[in-house]
Structure formats: C-alpha cells, structure tokens
C-alpha cells in the first residue's frame, strides 16, 4: 500500500524500481486477430519483436503513459489513440523479467477497428511498428509472449459478458461484421440467426442507423447498419461455444 510501510521501518527506505507500461493492442483484419508489435532497435532483444510500451514519466499515471507511448512508438493517428479502448490487464513484477534491471510493468489491453494502413504513415518510430497475426507472433522480447497470451484470453472472456466487440468495428457496422469479430477472437463459428437474435434482444448493445442506411460489402443481400448502443455489459452473457461448458 502506498504509505503502508511496515510499522517500524523507515518508509523512505524503499527500493527504487523502474515502472513501465506494455500494450497489447488488437485488431481484427481479414478474419484474423492481429496484435501491434514494434521491432526493437536496441539491446536487449535487439531486432526482436516486442509489445509497444515504455517508461512511465514522473508526473504520469500508467494510463496516460500508455497512450503517450502508443502514439510515440507506433505512429497511430492521434484520434485513434485518443479513442482507443484501453484497459488494464495486470502488472508483471517478476524480479528477473528484464535482464538489465528491476522493471515492473503495468500491462494494458487495447482494441481498435481495422485501420486502412495502421502502423505506416506515422513519423519517426512508426516505421518499426506492424500489425502481426497473433499466431505468427513468436520470439517476443522479455515476457511479452506471456502478456500477449493473457491479453488474448482476457479479450475473449470479455466478449462474453460485455459489449466490447463493437470496439473492433468501425463506427457503423453490420451484424455480419460484428459476428466476424466474435468468430475471429474466439476462433469458433457462431450460428448466424442465433447470433442476430441474441444481439438484437440485448437492449442497448447495438442500435440501428435510422436512415434506411444499408451497405454492401460485395456480394449478397445488403445488410442493415448498426452503431454501438449505450449498454456496456451483456446480461445474460453470450457464451462462447466449447470451452468445456457442455450444454
């Protein structure tokens, strides 16, 4: 606890640690889940892929540092970084997770819609950033593979009982696109009519775009467009198939 120094100890006799943030930012592209990675330009792990992140500055909270580092390191547009759905995952504090020194890292999970050309275009360090399919993210620096796995699991679980899936979609989307998010994140197939029924029956999950707005992604009947609704949680939840809950 802050200030909760052991009684009788000098509360100022603390060990100084470096505090960093790491971000697992996901998007769904072409039916596959991607994570935003940067190529490390210095030791240790020079040349390896790593999650974006960096040191928390003296007057910043971890949340503030996370957004700043993301903007600096990946060149994502300001608007995207500001609107990004960001959430604390957990803190990684194993003593030897960084070979140089004692570093405690607060990890975050971020969700963005598929971007035209995400990690490009930005200036400076952006050139080192890339969207990588999660299945191909091997050999990550530090304990970032663990963080990535934890983040994936958390996102999958959150889709079950929150309305978070819309964070992967553009401002207006079809139910087919929303279903694709679920199927991609869960790596499972979902029955389409049942999915529609569930989503539309959950008040505030999505709301229809009023104008007879429709959009065709190519072939097939045009789909109605929806926007994220005011609801944030799903009651009752939308449980993923398999995963050991025999029904």
Partner DNA sequence: GTCCTTTATAGTCAAGTTGACTATTAAAGG
Partner DNA sequence: CCTTTAATAGTCAACTTGACTATAAAGGAC
Element (DSSP H or E) covering residue 149:
helix 144-161
206 SS3 class: strand
Alpha-carbon distances of 103 from 16, 17, 21, rounded to whole Å: 10, 6, 10
- Asked whether the beta carbons of 182 and 169 are under 8 A apart, the reply is no
- Asked whether the beta carbons of 144 and 51 are under 8 A apart, the reply is yes
- Asked whether the beta carbons of 24 and 35 are under 8 A apart, the reply is yes
User: What single-letter DSSP state applies at residue 233?
Assistant: B
Among residues 178, 164, 166, 161, the alpha carbon closest in space to that of 239 is found at 161
Q: Which stretch binds a second copy (CB under 8 A): 66-74, 77-85, 193-201, 211-219?
A: 66-74
Does residue 54 interact with a second copy by CB under 8 A?
yes
**Ranges within 105-124 binding a second copy (CB under 8 A):** 105-106, 124
128 SS3 class: helix
Q: Which of 82, 88, 149, 191 binds a second copy (CB under 8 A)?
A: 88
* Residue 242 binds: one of a second copy, DNA, none (C-beta under 5 to 8 A by kind): none
Does residue 141 interact with a second copy by CB under 8 A?
yes
**Nearest distance, CB of residue 221 and DNA, angstroms:** 3
Does residue 156 interact with a second copy by CB under 8 A?
no
- C-alpha–C-alpha distance, residues 153 and 26, integer Å: 12
- Taking the least distance from each CB to a second copy, the nearer of 12 and 220 is 12
* Residue 176 binds: one of a second copy, DNA, none (C-beta under 5 to 8 A by kind): DNA
Does residue 242 interact with a second copy by CB under 8 A?
no
- Taking the least distance from each CB to a second copy, the nearer of 11 and 170 is 11
Backbone angles phi, psi at 113, to 5 degrees: -70, 165
Contact positions toward DNA, by CB under 7 A? 174-176, 191-194, 196-198, 201, 214, 216-224, 236, 238-239, 241, 247
* Residue 21 binds: one of DNA, a second copy, none (C-beta under 5 to 8 A by kind): a second copy
- Taking the least distance from each CB to DNA, the nearer of 95 and 193 is 193
Q: Which of 80, 104, 146, 209 binds a second copy (CB under 8 A)?
A: 104
* Residue 8 binds: one of a second copy, DNA, none (C-beta under 5 to 8 A by kind): a second copy
- Asked whether the beta carbons of 61 and 90 are under 8 A apart, the reply is no
């Amino acid at each position: 606890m802050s200030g909760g120094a052991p009684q009788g100890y000098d509360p100022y006799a603390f060990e100084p640690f470096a505090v960093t943030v790491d971000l697992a930012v996901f998007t769904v592209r072409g039916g596959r889940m991607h994570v935003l990675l940067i190529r490390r330009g210095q030791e240790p792990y020079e040349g390896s892929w790593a999650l974006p992140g960096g040191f928390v500055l003296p007057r910043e909270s971890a949340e503030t540092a996370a957004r700043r580092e993301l903007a600096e390191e990946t060149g994502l547009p300001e608007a995207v970084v500001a609107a990004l759905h960001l959430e604390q995952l957990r803190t990684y504090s194993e003593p030897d997770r960084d070979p140089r020194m004692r570093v405690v890292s607060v990890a975050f999970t971020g969700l963005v819609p598929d971007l035209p050309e995400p990690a490009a275009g930005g200036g400076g360090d952006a050139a080192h950033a890339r969207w990588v399919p999660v299945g191909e993210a091997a050999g990550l620096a530090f304990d970032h593979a663990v963080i990535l796995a934890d983040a994936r699991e958390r996102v999958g679980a959150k889709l079950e009982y929150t309305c978070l899936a819309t964070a992967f979609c553009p401002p207006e989307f079809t139910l087919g696109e929303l279903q694709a998010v679920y199927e991609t994140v869960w790596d499972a197939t979902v029955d389409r009519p049942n999915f529609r029924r569930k989503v539309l029956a959950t008040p505030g999950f999505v709301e229809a775009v009023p104008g007879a707005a429709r959009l065709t992604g190519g072939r097939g009947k045009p789909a109605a467009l929806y926007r994220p609704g005011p609801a944030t949680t799903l009651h009752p939840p939308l449980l993923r198939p398999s995963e050991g809950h025999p029904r």
